[in-house]
Amino acid sequence: MTNNKLIYIASPYAGDIERNTAFAIDACRYCITQGHTPVAPHLLYTRMLDDADPAQREIGLELGYRLLEHADELWVCGERISPGMAAEIAEADRLGIPVRGVGTIEILMGSEMLQDMAVSPSGGMEMVMR
């Protein structure tokens, strides 16, 4: 993959967790179609920690900030910014990490492209006709 960046995916989690999780997965898929490597801490740490427990939520946020330190960009996915996302944006700004907004339509249409992509023999991603 050319110009492969590590992209920190920020999207809502709380509320409709099932729907928000599916959207975060779509955002990661979209990121992959763009030739980048996504990292979505809210998909990872909520599997190990209880997001409803304030102490465990704080641990999850701190672990996410540690990952953010290594990201090339933070993508704000969707049109709604949750309090957790706002904190991630502020941390990215503090660290000097570029922040990019990516709309819902762009993500949903782009993530569908993953179905039409395959790994080439050289290890890169390429479009395939089905």
pLDDT tens digit sequence for 23-49 = 999 999 999 999 999 999 999 999 999
- Region of 110 (left: φ > 0; alpha: ψ -120 to 50; beta: rest) is alpha
Report the C-alpha gap between 44 and 4 in whole angstroms. Answer: 21
The pair of three-digit structure tokens given for residue 1, joined into one six-digit string: 């993959």
Average pLDDT over the chain, rounded to an integer: 88
Instruction: Specify the CATH number for 6-127; select among 2.60.300.12, 3.40.50.450, 3.30.1120.80, 3.30.470.20.
Output: 3.40.50.450
